[in-house]
Chain A
Amino acid sequence: GAVVSQHPSRVICKSGTSVKIECRSLDFQATTMFWYRQFPKQSLMLMATSNEGSKATYEQGVEKDKFLINHASLTLSTLTVTSAHPEDSSFYICSAPGQPTTNEKLFFGSGTQLSVL
């Protein structure tokens, strides 16, 4: 099956710094990737849709200047949390659809636990 690699798995940073999270599709091309945020014991909330070659689409309430998304190639999307603050601490997960033409299942990265001190 398709593999999505997410890096780093865990990051601890000081308040005010920026953190970049990478999401790669290893054996398939992904023109679209999705970024989610998950608080402890809660569900996944879609933050934005990353589109190769164009601007990301952000969900309502998500600050685009805070969460910068770049879909640099057909296999790489990055999420940069700029000027991170403790309230940004969360589990971030990316995913990519396995089949580009239908609304089928998603393949997920292993997630990144961000802790902002």
Chain B
Amino acid sequence: SQQGEEDPQALSIQEGENATMNCSYKTSINNLQWYRQNSGRGLVHLILIRSNEREKHSGRLRVTLDTSKKSSSLLITASRAADTASYFCASNYGGSQGNLIFGKGTKLSVKP
């Protein structure tokens, strides 16, 4: 079954504000990854957090992982108009390499 349900489905904020997106998954994972997709384009890897990690930072990105709740969050601080895109979480539960289960995504709109 599909894992990685994100919420909200859509998020609209002003430039400079923070954006928080949440993701839930259903089974034990090796790692959880976040990807970004601009409209009509491929996905770009943003950050990976392993099952034994609780928080990770990369630039303006902050990811948390709560394995007890099977959930993760992606925080984008000081958002910019260029951050406008869809964001997907992808859970890696082991098995064949790269067999990621993608969530439905959050469409983020950052207004200048």
- List residues of A whose CB falls within 8 A of some B CB: 4, 6, 32, 34, 41-44, 46, 49, 57, 91, 93, 95-97, 100, 102-111, 113
Instruction: Please name all residues of chain B whose beta carbon is closer than 8 Å to the beta carbon of A41 when the two chains form the complex.
Output: 107
Determine if B103 and A43 form an interchain contact, defined as CB atoms under 8 angstroms apart: yes
Determine if B98 and A113 form an interchain contact, defined as CB atoms under 8 angstroms apart: no
Bound-state CA distance A8–B13 (Å) is: 34
Determine if A44 and B98 form an interchain contact, defined as CB atoms under 8 angstroms apart: no
Report the nearest A residue to B86, measured CB to CB.
Answer: A41
Residue B59 is within 8 A (CB to CB) of chain A in the complex: no
Question: Which stretch (B38-46, B61-69, B70-78) binds chain A?
Answer: B38-46
Q: A34-B98, A103-B98 are in contact. List 17 more A-B contacts (CB 8 A).
A: A42-B104, A42-B105, A43-B4, A46-B99, A46-B100, A57-B96, A93-B43, A96-B98, A103-B30, A103-B94, A103-B97, A104-B31, A105-B33, A107-B45, A109-B42, A111-B42, A113-B40
Determine if B88 and A106 form an interchain contact, defined as CB atoms under 8 angstroms apart: no
Residue B58 is within 8 A (CB to CB) of chain A in the complex: no
Bound-state CA distance A74–B41 (Å) is: 24
Residue B102 is within 8 A (CB to CB) of chain A in the complex: yes
Report the nearest A residue to B30, measured CB to CB.
Answer: A103
Chain B proximity of A69: nearest CB distance (Å):
15
Residue B92 is within 8 A (CB to CB) of chain A in the complex: yes
Determine if B45 and A43 form an interchain contact, defined as CB atoms under 8 angstroms apart: no
Bound-state CA distance A102–B30 (Å) is: 10
Instruction: Please name all residues of chain A whose beta carbon is closer than 8 Å to the beta carbon of B2 when the two chains form the complex.
Output: 43
Q: Which of B1-48 contact A (CB under 8 A)?
A: 2, 4, 30-31, 33, 35, 40-45, 48
Report the nearest A residue to B45, measured CB to CB.
Answer: A105
Instruction: Please name all residues of chain B whose beta carbon is closer than 8 Å to the beta carbon of A111 when the two chains form the complex.
Output: 40-42
